[in-house]
Amino acid sequence: MKSSKEKTFTEKVYDVVRKIRKGKVLTYKEVAEKAGNRNAVRAVGTILSKNFDNNIPCHRVIRSDGKIGQYNRGESEKIRLLKKEGVIL
């Protein structure tokens, strides 16, 4: 049986990021892999940048290099949110 729901990669990324709990952080590569394409790490960043939904803690997604990465409201804000949730940088 098959349901032809075919969510776009964007929807998948949102779903993955939405599942991130407080104090947890994933890298863009991890998100891309969970979304179905580990090669689409670039697309993930592009997609999240277009996301303005507060229901999606996109600030919990960081780079694989251990750096924070960009954020809609500024990297400083992203760092602050992570530290506030107990994430060790």
Partner DNA sequence: TAGTTGACCGGAA
Partner DNA sequence: ATTCCGGCCAACT
Binding site for DNA (CB under 7 A): 8-11, 27-29, 37, 39-51, 58-59, 61, 63-65, 67, 69-72, 78
Burial of 47 (0-12, 13-18, 19+ CB in 10 A): buried
Beta bridge partners of 61: 26
From the number of C-beta atoms within 10 Å of its C-beta (0-12, 13-18, 19+), residue 31 rates as buried
Mark whether 58 is an active-site residue.
Answer: yes
Residue tagged active-site, from 13, 44, 58, 82: 58
Using DSSP's 3-state secondary structure scheme, residue 26 falls into strand
CB of 67: closest distance to DNA in angstroms?
7
User: Which one, 23 or 75, has the nearer CB to DNA?
Assistant: 75
Q: Tell me whether residue 1 or residue 88 sits nearer to DNA (CB atom).
A: 88
Q: Kindly list the catalytic residues.
A: 58
